[in-house]
Amino acid sequence: MLSMKLISKSLLSLVTIILCFLSYYKLQAQVGVNEDVMNPNLVTEAELAALPQIDEELAKDLIKSRPFLSMAQLNKFLGKHMSLEQTQDLYLKLFVPINLNDVTREEILLVPGVGDRMAHEFEEYRPYVAMAQFRREMGKYVDDEEVARMEKFVFVPINLNNASDEDILSIPGVGNRMLHEFKEYRPYKSIEQFRREIGKYVDDNEVARLERYLVLE
């Protein structure tokens, strides 16, 4: 009888730990903290022109070419206008956040300071369920400062139907008004429904940009 009680207590403790673990992940914002890395889909023309690699003409051209729905698209666009060295310097300040769960190796290698070894580690722990998981796993290989630096360039998609307010507001360019619209139409039955409903408030390009940060489960 005593053994059964001990086993029950052990199982209860294990379940509690698992639930706390899952709750911790669920409550974490899904887009890395990146105040000093500008998003090319949201940056102003004046902010672009202030970057040493970009003149006024290129800034205008970049604005007209938005949205960039991947770093590969941005890299292809910039490759027509500047050298590899210039783009590498620019990505320290201007970057399209990459989806940790489906980004290609080539795009991972566009993250400043990330080489083949760390790109492998990025891929090793897929699928990611939250940024907290990325921080923990990458923390096995580099210090906290480097993890914080790398997370500026990445994100983990959020579940459209149960994401917290914090998670939704972590999407670049989403404020309280759009947060309300995201939640207004729950539960979404398809991504097409999301496109249709959010398309009432923003254009198709902005819907496509927002959709990058979402999954529907």
pLDDT mean for each 10 residues of the chain (217 residues): 52 43 47 83 96 96 97 98 96 97 97 97 96 96 96 96 94 96 97 98 97 94
Global pTM value: 0.84
Distance CA(183)–CA(161), nearest Å, equals: 8
Q: Which amino acid is at 93?
A: K
Asked whether the CA dihedral 91, 175, 160, 135 is positive or negative, the reply is positive
Q: Which amino acid is at 89?
A: D
User: What is the structure's pLDDT at 89?
Assistant: 97
214 three-state secondary structure: strand
Give the angle subtended at the CA of 22 by the CAs of 177 and 156, to the nearest 5°.
50
Nearest to 97 by CA among 123, 70, 59: 70
Nearest to 160 by CA among 208, 216, 212, 209: 216
User: What is the structure's pLDDT at 1?
Assistant: 52
The structure tokens listed for 217 are 């489960």
User: What is the structure's pLDDT at 217?
Assistant: 84
C-beta atoms surrounding 200 within 10 Å: 9
Q: Do 54 and 62 form a contact (C-beta atoms < 8 A)?
A: yes
For residue 63, what are the contacts with CB-CB under 8 A and spacing of at least 6? 45, 48
User: What is the structure's pLDDT at 195?
Assistant: 98
